[in-house]
Amino acid sequence: MTDKFPKIALVGYGSMGRETERLALESGFEITDIFDIDSKIRIDKEYKFDVAIDFTSPETVIENIALYSKHGKNAVIGTTGWLNDFAKVKELIEQNSIGIVYGSNFSLGVQLFSRVVAEASRILDNIGGYDIMLHEMHHKRKKDSPSGTALSIAGIILENYKNKKEIYTESVHSQIEPGMLHVSSTRGGEIAGQHTVIIDSAADTIELTHRAKNRTGFAAGALEAAKWINGKSGLFNFNDIVNKILG
């Protein structure tokens, strides 16, 4: 990891933005700007920040990336639900030679959890009699369902367990096809995030759970990503570069 701390802009000042601010100031980062719905980044103004950390919404993230591109600023995108516009984002980045790290979850604990799930899925592929499913829970304000993290974990299972061929995210009111990996969701309360992989047979049940106690882990990962992307260009998935970020 580099010792140089880039100047940070926070884009989106909800719960994640405020937690990132708290941790950034404790860690020695300088926050030059905070942008929110009532104070948006402008095209006709110069800014001193090096990297924007964006926890906004799928509806605004593409517009934000276009603005970062025009300003020549790098960014960490913690917003999910925008990957249908991936090609457009990649084009913007290449045209303007900026750097962006994106991810469904910046928690380093989730990165460890994903590796445990991958290994468990590989083991399942060598034995019979078990089925696997995934359930996630988040607070009542979360807009997307299932979570981006749940979909990423589901993708890991499909990569490593050949009996599952497709992800199914709708409610099931009848028998499910054996090749479907069911991903279910619950929204309510103030749950920061919980993902449980359930491995079940006639004899026993194994549950692998990652439970976020708060938003600190997400903020810490986003700040590490901001340090790593500073001065670089290109589009990077946090899952793919976390080992490089951690050195």
Catalytic residues: 138, 142
CA separation (Å) from 9 to 6, 75, 77, 114?
Answer: 10, 9, 12, 29
Domains of the chain, each with CATH number or no CATH: 8-106+215-245 (3.40.50.720), 108-211 (3.30.360.10)
Q: Average pLDDT, stretch 191-200? A: 96
Give phi and psi for 138, each to the nearest 5: -145, 165
153-187 residue pLDDT tens = 999 999 999 999 999 999 888 899 999 999 999 99
Residues 17-48: tens digit of each pLDDT = 999 999 999 999 999 999 998 899 999 999 99
Query: pTM of the full predicted structure?
Result: 0.77
